[in-house]
Amino acid sequence: MSVTSSLEKVIKDEFIESALWMERKNTNIQLSTAQDLINRIAKSNALDCLRRIHKGKADFGVFTAEDLVAATNSEIDVLLTNELRFSSDQNFEYELVAIVANAANIRQKHDLRGKKYCHPGYGYEADWTRILSNYFEASVVTPQCHPNLTITENRVKATSNFFGAACKAGPWVNIPGLDYELKDKYPNLCSLCGDTRRCSIQDKYWGRRGSLFCLTDGSGDISWARLDDVNPHFGFTSGNQGINPNDYSLLCPDNTVMPLNSSTPCVWVVKPWSVIAARRAKAQKIQDIISSLINSDSASWQAHLLNLIEPIYYNVEKLDPPTSIEAYLHRAKGKLKT
């Protein structure tokens, strides 16, 4: 699916998966259908907020790239006025790359079948969203559709059949019992982890740098990683004595490879910055107000509003002119797939 695919579908798939598992295990949760579970948990979310802005019941809000993806199929008419950045000189929050060990003789995507895959894992959405975690697999693994399996298990099974071994630590799904069942059924996806049985967030290969250590320790053949973690890991940033990069290459989406120290590394997908979205009729006024908050006195209401809007960001950048969701996502490299 492309950028215009609905993120809501992924959310609902996970809730349905959980509801069906609980029903099969005869849990005491009183739900008439899986849809009841969806409605109860997802009643108030970012998409609802975007709809309120669209209907004139709210003026603006802060939204992530994943929120915007969900909105593209919902006929929501808003304009994006400002980006909320950690750094003013970075166009995206982060970029993702695929790194291969030269000894594995991977020259194109076709060569990945049967190889050992180092994945950053799941369980810390702030640094690594599930959609971007799964992007590489969605790009190279042929989907499967076994009618007797759920959507989630079809995805897991396809990855298990494609790669010879992997470390995908952390919770695959949000229900512990179901998570255990899937890992027990597809153990090769935990076979590269330090603790192959638990395959948890405590694993030595879990996390953003974990997939890189999995690769450079010699456990795996390919790593899916953030570019801002690759650079210090291999000593490309000042003050870091990293791993020798000459034994590794970048695998590119166009079926080529390039040196790891390339000045223009091939990126598979990016995560755009979070943004301010506003009603079309008030977008320019909202942009002016938000932009004026930056240099306000620390004791003023403007400073308090700015802190409420972006407590963890450091720069508020204008989008000139205010732009549509579709145009904003089109600037991004790669297409977010559900």
- Tell me what pLDDT residue 133 has: 93
pTM for this prediction: 0.81
CA 96 to chain centre: 10
Looking at the structure, do residues 134 and 67 belong to the same domain, yes or no?
Answer: no
Q: Looking at the structure, do residues 160 and 253 belong to the same domain, yes or no?
A: yes
Instruction: Quote the pLDDT of residue 277.
Output: 94
Could you give the CA distance from residue 283 to residue 91 in angstroms, rounded to a whole number? 22
Is 296 domain-assigned?
no
Q: What pLDDT, on a 0 to 100 scale, did the predictor assign at position 30?
A: 41
Are 65 and 180 found together in one domain?
no
* 302 vs 40: CA distance, rounded Å: 35
The answer to whether 127 and 208 are in contact (CB under 8 A) is: yes
pLDDT score, position 72? 80
Amino acid type, 55: K
What's the pLDDT score for residue 46?
82
Q: What is the mean pLDDT of each run of 10 residues along the chain (338 residues)?
A: 39 48 49 40 66 89 88 85 88 96 97 98 87 94 93 96 98 94 98 97 97 98 97 83 89 97 95 93 91 74 73 80 92 66
What is the total count of domains within the chain?
2
Query: 215 and 176: one domain?
Result: yes
Would you state the pLDDT for residue 338? 44
Q: Are residues 157 and 25 part of one domain?
A: no
- Enclosing domain of residue 50: 7-86+273-286+312-330
Same domain? For 31 and 133 the reply is no
Q: Is residue 196 part of a domain?
A: yes
Residues 123 and 186 occupy one common structural domain: yes
Environment class of 79 (CB within 10 Å of its CB; exposed 0-12, middle 13-18, buried 19+):
buried
